[in-house]
Amino acid sequence: MAIKFFHRIKKRKIKPKVNFKYIKLTLYVCFVIDEQHMIQSATRFIDPLSDFGFKHIFGSDSNKEILINFLNQLFNGQKEIKDLTYSPTEHGGDLKDSKRVFFDFLCTGHQGEQFIIEMQRGEQKNFRDRAVFYTSRLINEQLPRGSNHWNIDLKEVFLVAILGFNFKDSNPDQYLHDIALTNTHTGEIFYHKLNYKFLELPKLVKTETELETDLDRWLFLLKHMADLKKEPVGLDDGIFKKVFKIAEISNLTREEKEMYDSNLKAQWDYENSIAYAKERAAEEGRKEGLQKGIEEGIAKGIEQGIEKGLEQGLERGLEQGLEKGLEEGQHKKSMEIAIRMRKEKMPLDMIARLTNLSFSEIEKL
């Protein structure tokens, strides 16, 4: 659209009194429309791994049977979920300065059990600590304030994490990790009311024709939906047909499309900034490591010192430079992205999840 408009102007004889500010503004609007059209027309279905896509598919009370079906396939008889109630996703601590947590979803089952549902696309170093912290917060909230006794019957707490990365120490052939408190000597479960389920999507390598269970189909859908042009055989009926209908971009309202576009742009900006920070940090680390290696090598001796110093210095420099560059570059870019998201009037909890900034930092922007 913008290119055609530009060519039309070029062919016409422009008089000196032409309002070039108007032309520039019109071209800018055309380019913005073109960009949004490219995003929406490139794929047929929304990306379920995006913040908007995940909430749009699984977070509607009117379509909660979708989440119920997914969880029942995941628990595979371990737990039967008949109904869910969506609960507030923001939780503070007992103290005024306690860290506030934001869940993607927090649901309560028909027996009072609680389910934290998290989508974590990018790798996080301390994600396991975060998972334990989240469940601990819910367990702590079950104890009435001011209570001085332990005669309580805690409700079950489950955390389900759908990961866009693999744990470094996990079995390469195992994409579902079912974690519970166990007796290390016998292997028996010590406590049944706390459970974690981690799904590593990158490990799912099955094709359409190799899908055997509904859980296989769910994971295939989550991993590949954004790239699909049509509904695959075996996922074109039942609950999956409803999921595809909800996820079709052409069925979104104008406001939903704008929010999805903003979500994707913020995600791309963040991923690009992380990639650049890693590249820059690695380069700085190489330079610092080389310099340290030379200095240590000279001090220890020309022949043996240079070789050993280069090796040790390069390793330390790479590690320190990468860590420092990543931290500074990521925070700076996160602030820039948060400012743009604030201008788009996106919810504060969504900005916090996408940028990993604190609530107070975002409110000051």
What does pLDDT average to over the chain? 81
DSSP class of residue 112 equals: S
Model confidence at 6: pLDDT above 50: no
CA–CA distance, 169 with 164 (Å, rounded to integer): 15
**Positions of E strands within the chain:** 84-86, 90-91, 101-102, 105-109, 114-120, 157-163, 176-182, 189-200
* Residue of 311, 314, 326, 307 lying closest to 285 (CA atoms): 314
pLDDT at 38 (0 to 100): 46
Distances (CA, A) of 323 to 44, 59, 85, 202: 39, 36, 41, 25
Distances (CA, A) of 223 to 42, 47, 195, 207, 258: 17, 9, 24, 11, 23
pLDDT in tens, 95-149: 555 667 789 999 999 999 999 999 999 888 899 999 999 999 999 898 877 666 6
Lowest mean pLDDT segment, chosen from 27-36, 95-104, 112-121, 233-242? 27-36
pLDDT in tens, 152-211: 889 999 999 999 999 999 999 999 999 999 999 999 999 999 999 999 999 999 999 999
Q: Residue 161: exposed, middle, or buried by beta-carbon count in 10 A (0-12, 13-18, 19+)?
A: buried
Read out DSSP for 196-262?
EEEEEGGG----GGG--SHHHHHHHHHHHGGG-SSPPTTSSSHHHHHHHHHHBGGGS-HHHHHHHHH
What value does the mean pLDDT take over residues 310-337?
Answer: 66
Binned at pLDDT 50, 70 and 90, residue 32 comes out as: very low
pTM of the full structure: 0.65
What value does the mean pLDDT take over residues 28-54?
Answer: 67
What value does the mean pLDDT take over residues 69-85?
Answer: 96
What value does the mean pLDDT take over residues 299-311?
Answer: 62
- DSSP reduced 3-state for 108: strand
DSSP class of residue 293 equals: H
pLDDT at 323 (0 to 100): 61
For residue 294, give both structure tokens: 């030379």
What value does the mean pLDDT take over residues 270-285?
Answer: 75
pLDDT at 27 (0 to 100): 46
CA–CA distance, 358 with 341 (Å, rounded to integer): 14
Which one is predicted more confidently, 348 or 234? Answer: 234
Binned at pLDDT 50, 70 and 90, residue 301 comes out as: low
Which one is predicted more confidently, 238 or 11? Answer: 238
Model confidence at 248: pLDDT above 70: yes
